Structure 1
């Protein structure tokens, strides 16, 4: 291997590490800002076992990371896999939608306190366009 190859490999490793740290930090910040786990414990009347909710999030993240990296497959009938994954996905999307509904009420208050009220529409549009363009870029470029 030449020096250029080594530098390229080091650059790719640093890029992957920094991307992983950014996504992981974003997920943690997202969970903290939304108060998802304490809110879930409050709704379930399970304050004393909220550690189980936190542990489930961590274990789920670790499991699915390894499942993705190691290309694990479940050898179950497709009907069972689709039913269980559909149920879990629906629960996740429902909880996330509820949490996002509460957070969207925070944006106007935050904008007012930071004197950004005049730019609120622009901030929301930037978030929407960023998500849309990022998704389109992923679907149209990386998936093909």
Structure 2
């Protein structure tokens, strides 16, 4: 093997290790998965959450290294998109709750007693942004 190939392999492997370490640190230090199981009251199923995260990372990593196209119909894509949105929303909710983002933000901008308005503004903004992306940028 030439020096360029060895250097590329080394850089790719080092990059993968650093991203993987950051992802594991994100999940373990912040306790995202245990908090997610607490919020959903599914503590007995934590092993399934962990297995799903590992399987998702492996599948995503493998698919990103190859040129895969999933030719699925709209009827299959809608439930997959819904499940993905629910998972990302719950993960974001667990993360914000772990970090106490809303109370800190509300205190900083001086609306402690009206925190519900802050949360609704964030939710409606996320919904509007998602709808805009799907309507404008996605060709079904």
| C-alpha displacement of 1:85 | 4.0
Instruction: Give, in whole Å, the separation in 1 of the partners of 2:97 and 2:29.
Output: 10
Equivalent positions of 1:1-144 (< 5 A) are 6-78=2-74, 80-81=76-77, 83-105=78-100
1:74 partner SS: coil
| C-alpha displacement of 1:8 | 1.6
2:35 partner SS: helix
> Size of the alignment, in residue pairs?
101
Instruction: Give, in whole Å, the separation in 1 of the partners of 2:58 and 2:95.
Output: 24
| C-alpha displacement of 1:77 | 1.4
Question: If the length of structure 1 is used for normalisation, what is the TM-score?
Answer: 0.60
Is the CA contact 2:37–2:43 (under 8 Å) kept in the aligned structure 1?
A: yes
Question: If the length of structure 2 is used for normalisation, what is the TM-score?
Answer: 0.61
Is the CA contact 1:34–1:99 (under 8 Å) kept in the aligned structure 2?
A: no
Which 5+ residue runs of structure 1 have no aligned equivalent? 107-144
> What is the alpha-carbon root mean square deviation over aligned residues?
2.2
| C-alpha displacement of 1:104 | 3.6
| C-alpha displacement of 1:51 | 0.7
Instruction: Give, in whole Å, the separation in 2 of the partners of 1:50 and 1:73.
Output: 31
Which 5+ residue runs of structure 2 have no aligned equivalent? 102-140
| C-alpha displacement of 1:27 | 0.5
Alpha-carbon spacing, 1:55–1:33, altered in 2? closer, same or farther (3 Å): same
Instruction: Give, in whole Å, the separation in 1 of the partners of 2:94 and 2:44.
Output: 21
| C-alpha displacement of 1:29 | 0.4
